[in-house]
Copies of this chain bind each other. A is one copy, B any other.
Amino acid sequence: MALSEFSLIDRYFSRSVKQTGCQLGVGDDCALLTVEQGMQLAVSMDTLVENVHFLAGVDPRALGYKSLAVSLSDLAAMGAEPRYVTLALTLPELEENWLRSFSDGFFQIAEHYHVDLIGGDTTRGPLSITVQAHGVVPRGQALLRCGAQVGDLIYVTGMIGDAGLALKSQLGEIQSCAQIQLDRLNTPEPRVQAGLALRKLASACIDISDGLLADLSHILKASQVGAVIELAKLPVAESVLGYQRQTRQPGFALTAGDDYELCFTIPASHVTDIEAVSQAWPYPCTWIGRIDDSSELSVLNDGEQIEIASNGYQHFS
């Protein structure tokens, strides 16, 4: 029997709202929220399109998970605590098995981060998913891109290049890669815990979904500074290093993209604090370079500056 839009919403996307700041969720013309005094609402919107951001036939459970994960990564980069999400789901047809798996993946990460689905839209069309994540941050404590100062140290969370290698594997360009790398491509873990801890420590922060080099450049531009990073310091898995050597692409991990890690800067006086708080994170936190007054982003390999070909993922290049 054909499932209507409304029974679809009822069956797969209506779950009770738990956050007390939401007075009305799915089911009216709008959802209604309040934001506590002294807090700012941080909002971020991301679209994933079939055959652009994910391959046709991808596991719908992983896709549901990733749809929300990429937006939570933006909240993490602002130091915001996740609260609510809206979901616009465009589907070529209603397949119940697909919808069940997609919503299972979506709610798995939503529940893990105590995020309520409060509204959205379902439409017919080429498969695409737009999510807006809503979080809160104490007023004035959000991590912006524009605060990096000359002399600040540059750090990155997690490992870079894993998702890029996994994509090569899924596209058949390399024979295989580790399961952990496939997981990092398909079900990335937003660095919410790090973002919250960085509120009073970082001078600037960004998520590096377009690639470390491109996204660090956004910090430099917004802060009107330059930087030097050292290739040898980058947190890159042995298999990614092997791929880089084999293909003579020393900057692959810097530009491959789809790494939902945070790149941030801190004043040198906060090094001890970062080393202390990052002990609690279940992922590395690595010092990779330093902010300078050069107005350029230089990459050093054994002390020599190298040129990196591509400057990150661009949708229309």
Contacts and interface: CB of A to CB of B under 8 A. Distances in A.
Interface of A: 2-6, 8, 23-24, 27-35, 37, 39-53, 74-75, 77-78, 80, 86-88, 90, 93-94, 118-126, 128, 130, 132, 134-135, 137, 139, 142, 144-145, 205-207, 222, 314-317
Given A30-B44, A121-B46, A144-B24, A316 B132 contact: no
A303 to B, nearest CB: 32
Contacts of A145: 27-29
A119 B45 contact: yes
Contact of A5 (B3, B94, B316): B316
Contacts of A43: 30-31, 33, 86, 118-119, 134
A23 B138 CA distance: 13
Contacts of A41: 32-35, 41
A107 B285 CA distance: 42
A40 B33 CA distance: 5
A125 B33 contact: no
Question: Copies per complex?
Answer: 2
Given A2-B317, A3-B316, A41-B33, A126 B124 contact: no
Given A5-B314, A128-B90, A316-B5, A44 B32 contact: no
Contacts of A3: 316
Contacts of A23: 40
B125 A29 contact: no
A151 to B, nearest CB: 23
Contacts of A2: 316-317
B132 A45 contact: yes
Contacts of A32: 40-42, 78, 137, 142
A207 B47 contact: no
B49 A135 contact: no
B122 A74 contact: no
Contact of A128 (B74, B80, B128): B128
A128 to B, nearest CB: 6
B77 A139 contact: no
29 contacts: A2-B316, A3-B316, A5-B315, A23-B40, A24-B142, A28-B78, A29-B44, A29-B74, A29-B145, A29-B206, A29-B207, A30-B44, A30-B135, A32-B41, A33-B41, A33-B42, A34-B40, A35-B35, A35-B41, A43-B86, A43-B118, A43-B134, A45-B86, A45-B88, A47-B88, A47-B125, A53-B123, A124-B315, A128-B128
